[in-house]
Amino acid sequence: MKRSAVGQTLDYVRVHYLARGRYRVRRYASVLVEHHADNLQRARTIADELAYMHALVAARGVADNLADARADAMGLLRALARVGAVASDLDRSLSGDYTNAADCVRLTAELVSGAGTLAHQLANHLEGDLALSHVGGLARVLATSLFDTRRHVSKVGDLVQVLSAPNHDVGGIAGRVTGVAVRVLPARHRERYRDEYGSELHELAAAGTPRWRQIAYALRLLDRSWVLRAELRTPAVSKARS
Amino acid sequence: MPGPKMTIPTQLVLRALLEHPTRELYGLEICAAAGLASGTIHPILARLEGLGWLESRWEDIDPAKEGRPRRRYYRLSPDGAERARHALANARTPLTGLPGLAHGGGIG
């Protein structure tokens, strides 16, 4: 059967929506890789600086605090190496069919959080050490950066969830569209139709209707809302044969 | 009072409701029974309800307990059912004259 113009438009909206989502998640993944490279560079600078300081003070036998700091820094580098490996897996998954993408995001988030905790501990460890306070400052900057990276991973996770779970309108687009459709209606009818549309959207989602179909449903409601508005504003007598 | 203009979608909705006149249906069920695209029936339902042919009510459930929102149920009023049968019988463009629509074939 030949598809109607509305059907073709809805297909276009669906394809455009998915393509835009995939583009955004790839862009976020690229930014995540950049974040990781910066974080790794900061951690290496910290490790190098500690190694340099260790060489300076070791001869004087006051290197205990420094040895602990170096151990923390090495742990940080190992944690970031794991972040890099999982982020690469995530990037490959997002370039393909999203297999294990959600697991990769979850693991990346855990590893970044763990690295952030280590950086924070290192900064605290060096806080009272006058000779190493500048390294402590670097660790503090790294901890802040890892916090930002963690937030960025959350954004990637939200998009991955939307793009890999076709049966749920996670972004609430359909709900927002029906909200607009309801605002078109006379004020005294809005509450009823808000509840009625919401109930129908819930039924569609519960029945496993793909998200784009839920959005198409909401767009049809919006398209028909002006007709419904006219019906609701027309006295019953004039409805006959009109 | 005369009835509504008997457009094809209106006839499909009435026919769906007349199949089980005592049973209450909610919006998505009516769409499915009428073979109409979801989201297109509310103006028709509003018109029929405004004319007194339809009655509607909220489902009597506790949404928190059921884990879903309450539905809005529709059914023909006794008078509306009689008027609907008469109107369908006298429609200028009866459904039986349109191939593909007589047995619930969808439009839209």
Tokens 């969830």 belong to A161
Helix (H) or strand (E) holding B56, with range, is strand B54-58
CB-based contact, A198 to chain B, within 8 Å: yes
Give the pLDDT confidence of B25-37 residue by residue, as tens digits: 999 999 989 988 8
Q: How far is B103 from chain A, CA to nearest CA, in Å?
A: 17
Q: Highest mean pLDDT: which of A25-29, B1-5, B6-10?
A: B6-10
Q: B-chain residues within 8 Å CB-CB of A184?
A: none
How many CA atoms within 13 Å lie on the side-chain side of A157?
A: 15
Confirm or reject contact between B27 and chain A (CB < 8 A): yes
pTM tops 0.90, yes or no? no
Contact present, A26 and A94 (Cβ < 8 Å) = yes
Residues of chain A with pLDDT under 70: 1-19, 58-64, 162-171, 236-242
Give the ipTM.
0.84
What's the pLDDT band for B105 if we cut at 50, 70, 90?
A: very low
- Sheet order of strands, B54-58 included: B25-26, B72-76, B54-58
Give me the pLDDT at residue A127, please.
79
Mean pLDDT taken over chain B:
82
Put simply, the answer to whether A200 touches B108 (Cβ < 8 Å) is no
* Ranges of each domain in chain A: 23-163, 172-233
Question: pLDDT per residue over B14-26, tens digit each?
Answer: 999 999 888 899 9
CATH 3.30.70 fits A23-163, yes or no: no
Contact A132, A63 (CB under 8 A): no
pLDDT value of residue B4: 78
**Quick one: which of B52, B67, B55, B62 has its CA closest to B24?**
B55
Of A200, A216, A236, the CB nearest to B27: A200
**Residues B75-94: what's their mean pLDDT?**
87
**Given a cut of 50, is residue B45 above it in pLDDT?**
yes
CB pairs under 8 A between A and B: 79
Question: For residue B87, which residues of chain A lie inside 8 Å, CB to CB?
Answer: none
Q: At what angle do helices B8-19 and B42-50 cross, to 10 degrees?
A: 70
Question: DSSP 3-state assignment of B22?
Answer: coil
Q: Which residue of B has its CA nearest to A225?
A: B43
pLDDT at B30: 93
- State whether residue A218 sits within 8 Å of chain B by CB: yes
Please give the pLDDT value at position B47: 93
| Owner of token pair 């605290």 | A124
Q: What pLDDT, on the 0 to 100 scale, is given for residue A156?
A: 84
A204 contacts on B by Cβ (under 8 Å)? 28, 38
What is the Cα–Cα distance from A138 to A135, expressed in whole angstroms?
5
A129 touches B: beta carbon within 8 Å:
no
Query: Which stretches of chain A are DSSP H helices?
Result: 5-57, 64-95, 101-127, 133-164, 173-183, 187-206, 211-233, 236-239
Q: What are the DSSP E strand ranges found in B2-53?
A: 25-26
CB atoms within 10 A of CB B64: 7
* pLDDT, position A116: 92
